[in-house]
Structure 1
Amino acid sequence: MGCCQCQGIENMFDKKAAKRQLKRYLKKGPSKTTGMLLDAIHKKGVQGLNFLDIGGGIGAIQYDLIKAGASNGTSIEASSAYIDVVKEETLQNGLAERVNFKQGDFTTTATDVDSADIVTLDKVICCYDDMSELVGLSSKLARKIYAVIYPRDVWWTKLALPMMNFYPRLKGSSFRVFIHPTKKVEKIIFGNGLKRNYYATTLFWQVAIFTR
């Protein structure tokens, strides 16, 4: 991820956005696609497994996996504001000792990150201009399950892309959304020894689970 994109993430995903998203999660639970991802992971079994949640956001996946029986996990998040908000929430719900938080760009710290039974990227691939590095490094770390949500590679999502990037430009942020070809994403994942065994879509998103 380029330095401009990192700075853009800091600007777009600030403390106000983090608190708003956490409030929504506490009231309504995970989003539809996150729920789909978690349901698919649950069917594989999570008891006693550990996880690595890249771009962990407000912690929806982390809370769910621990409650479902995962032993512990690591959250790597580029936004310092989101890390601060999630740390505060985990202290309140008693999960602080079960999740290790790291702030920064995963691709620059990947060599210092341990492999995990479950690796998740919920709407993270679309935040990276260098998809190959992100997917290549993260999928190598998945011992059992690699779970991702990213935009569908279809004409209507591509048509919507300029509109999605209009708001960051209007706000003066360097953050941009990217739509990467599904075949290229999956080629990298398959090349790291994983096979796809769950796939579902919504109008905009694709949800996929890969296992070894």
Structure 2
Amino acid sequence: MDECCDPRVPCGFDDVFGTRFAAKLARRYRRHGLTDSERRVTDRISALGVDGRSVLEIGGGIGAMQLALLARGAASAVNLELSDAYEGKAAELIRQAGVESAAMRIVGIDLAVPGHDIAPADFVILHRVVCCYPDFTNLLGAAAAHARLAIVFTYPSPSWVTRALVRLENAWMAMRGSRYRGFIHSPEAMIDVLRRSGMVVSDHDRVGNWNVAVALRAPIGSAATTSTA
């Protein structure tokens, strides 16, 4: 999917997230497991009660967090991906984990674009995704519409350093002829989208340069208390 005539749709994914990038992620995962930010996301979902629940991840790459959540008791995990570059490595990891019946991968469907038939899930994950997507309003709105219980999403710190780095990266991509661009969206605006969708941001902390936010459809046990770290 590469509908670059529409400024709301991400472009040039294959320029950045290709097979070499997928192989690099798979090697790192096999050697070291989840990254710190991935571990924080899975811990947040596990704390809400993942046993027997369904998970929908948008842009999950090789599927490392889905494998972790299935190992922790999730009943099913679905990954939506715009680039097909991850599929070979993801399939290997799924086979090795023995979760072929519980893990599903779908390529070419953008959740933010109407016309698909993606079922809701108990938990929706967007890790390192909103920074790659121009239209965060429709993306997060669609994620909220598909989350029965909660969304966990991450976004880069909107500091001047991060903004400068993204501008440099975008300039480099333009010089190379790539249509891919990164984005630093307003945290307040993103959270407001979820609030207007009937969700409550109940937890918000930081791992390295990544902010991790948890938005609940309704209080789940004692998890509805608000905290900021």
- 1:100-115 aligned at under 5 Å gives the runs 100-104=104-108, 105-108=110-113, 111-115=116-120
- 1:116-155 aligned at under 5 Å gives the runs 116-155=121-160
In 2, Cα distance between equivalents of 1:205 and 1:148: 10
Higher-RCO chain (CA-CA 8 Å, sequence separation at least 6): 1
How big is the shift at 1:7?
4.7
Segments of 5+ residues of structure 1 without an aligned counterpart are none
User: What amino acid sits opposite 2:212 in the alignment?
Assistant: V
TM-score, structure 1 normalization? 0.92
Structure 2 residue 20 is matched with structure 1 residue 16: yes
User: What amino acid sits opposite 2:53 in the alignment?
Assistant: L
Structure 1 runs of 4+ off > 3 angstroms?
4-7
Is the helix fraction higher in 1 or 2?
A: 1
In 1, Cα distance between equivalents of 2:146 and 2:65: 17
In 2, Cα distance between equivalents of 1:75 and 1:42: 18
> Aligned pairs, how many?
212
Structure 2 residue 37 is matched with structure 1 residue 33: yes
Structure 2 residue 66 is matched with structure 1 residue 62: yes
RMSD of the alignment, in Å?
1.9
Structure 2 residue 85 is matched with structure 1 residue 85: no
In 2, Cα distance between equivalents of 1:114 and 1:19: 29
- 1:184-195 aligned at under 5 Å gives the runs 184-195=189-200
Asked whether the 8 Å contact 2:16–2:180 carries over to 1, the reply is yes
In 1, Cα distance between equivalents of 2:196 and 2:37: 26
User: What amino acid sits opposite 1:77 in the alignment?
Assistant: E
TM-score, structure 2 normalization? 0.86
Segments of 5+ residues of structure 2 without an aligned counterpart are 218-229
How big is the shift at 1:156?
2.5
In 2, Cα distance between equivalents of 1:76 and 1:152: 25
Structure 1 residues 194, 6: closer, same or farther in 2, change over 3 A? closer
How big is the shift at 1:154?
2.8
**What is the DSSP-based 3-state SS (H/G/I as helix, E as strand, rest coil) of the residue aligned with 1:90?**
helix
Q: Corresponding residue for 1:178?
A: 183
